[in-house]
Chains A and B, each alone.
Chain A
């Protein structure tokens, strides 16, 4: 025992013998499965969405500051690189939300059967991609209606 916390990993097995409690199964033991990938992606998309909140705060502060700072944000986001970032953020946010609904269903006790979660995994991916593309198609359609050109400052 190197650490007092190791004491918490020792327990009595059902036959009364002292055993070390099992740790989580090692990743290397398992064949790569969709559920593992989606579980990791839920976390990664959460981190990406968190980084994206910087853009949200910048946008809000700019809108509260005046036309010039607001135009700067609009210009940066309308630039191809800005659009790629915004698209990535949209995808991460949509995936985290849709996948999050699946996690909430699990938390409520639904959808644990093997055939069910093997079906809902691909559905989460499909719905996320379709919703993200839909948001962007609608966005482009509305944008070209509402704006004469990029950078319509007042």
Chain B
């Protein structure tokens, strides 16, 4: 330990230290949230696939009745929100890996975030509309 060859190996450059680059305790957030959403999506996805199988070929009102049940409404909302959050995080990693040009990277990243948000909102509004379905006829 105290020998002549003992060295502290610092895996961080002087420049990186000067510029204040580092995690500041938030470096793993993207990775961590991706895992958490993944874990939550496993049971939610299984539930959704089973529910879809049980409603195959049924008329629209049957689907509305199913989605309007409070438990189903909540689970559907959770599924949709977590799916699009997980999707956005995952696609962002692919974009970071393959889109190198700074300007294209910004454009594609914003498209990813915008599209994920809009798709999630479409789905959420559709679910809420079914939850508060008004039988007009």
Contact A104 B63 (CB under 8 A): no
Q: Which chain B residues numbered 30 to 44 have a C-beta less than 8 Å away from chain A? A: 35, 38-39, 41-42
* A residues in contact with B21, CB < 8 Å: 8
Distance between Cα atoms of A10 and B15 in the complex (Å): 10
Task: Classify the interface of chain A: helix, strand, loop or mixed.
Answer: helix
Residue of chain B at shortest CB distance from A103: B38
Size of chain A's interface in residues, with CB distance under 8 A? 46
Instruction: Judge whether B119 and A53 touch: CB under 8 Å.
Output: yes
**What per-residue 1/0 map shows which CB atoms of B75-117 lie under 8 Å from chain A?**
0000010011001001100100000000000000000000000
Question: Whole-angstrom distance between the alpha carbons of A106 and B129 in the complex?
Answer: 40
B1-38 contact mask (Cβ, 8 Å, vs A): 1 or 0: 00000010111011110000100000000000001001
Q: Which residues of B contact A61 (CB under 8 A)?
A: 122-123, 126
Which residues in window 42-84 of B have CB below 8 A to A?
42, 45, 49, 53-54, 56-61, 63-64, 67, 80, 83-84
Offer 19 A-B interface pairs, CB within 8 angstroms, sorted by A: A7-B14, A7-B15, A8-B13, A10-B13, A12-B7, A53-B83, A53-B87, A56-B83, A56-B123, A57-B126, A60-B80, A64-B127, A64-B130, A67-B61, A70-B60, A93-B49, A100-B38, A104-B38, A146-B58
| Beta-carbon contact of B129 and A57 below 8 Å | no
Task: Output the nearest chain B residue to A78 by Cβ-Cβ distance.
Answer: B57
The chain A residue with its CB closest to the CB of B136 is A66
B63 x A70 contact (CB < 8 A): yes
Residues A1-56 near B (CB distance < 8 A): 4, 7-8, 10-12, 14, 16, 43, 46-47, 49-50, 53-54, 56
Q: Are B54 and A60 in contact (CB under 8 A)?
A: no
B90–A50 touching, CB < 8 Å: yes
Given A70-B63, A147-B56: A47 and B91 within 8 A (CB)? yes
Q: How large is the interface on B (under 10, 10 to 19, 20 to 34, 35 or more residues)?
A: 35 or more
Q: Give the chain B neighbours of A70 by CB distance below 8 A.
A: 59-60, 63
Q: How far is the CA of A63 from the CA of B83 in the complex (A)?
A: 19
| Contact A154 B59, beta carbon cutoff 8 Å | yes
A63 and B60 contacting across the interface, CB-CB below 8 Å: yes
Taking CB atoms, residues of chain B closer than 8 Å to A142 are 53-54, 56-57
Q: Does A153 touch B at the CB level, under 8 Å?
A: yes
The reply to whether the CB of A135 lies closer than 8 angstroms to some CB of chain B is yes
Contacts of A107 in B (CB 8 A): 35
Q: Which residue of chain B lies nearest to A144 when distances are taken between CB atoms in the complex?
A: B57
A139 lies within 8 A of chain B by Cβ = yes
Q: A63-B60, A138-B53 are in contact. Are A14 and B9 (CB under 8 A)?
A: yes
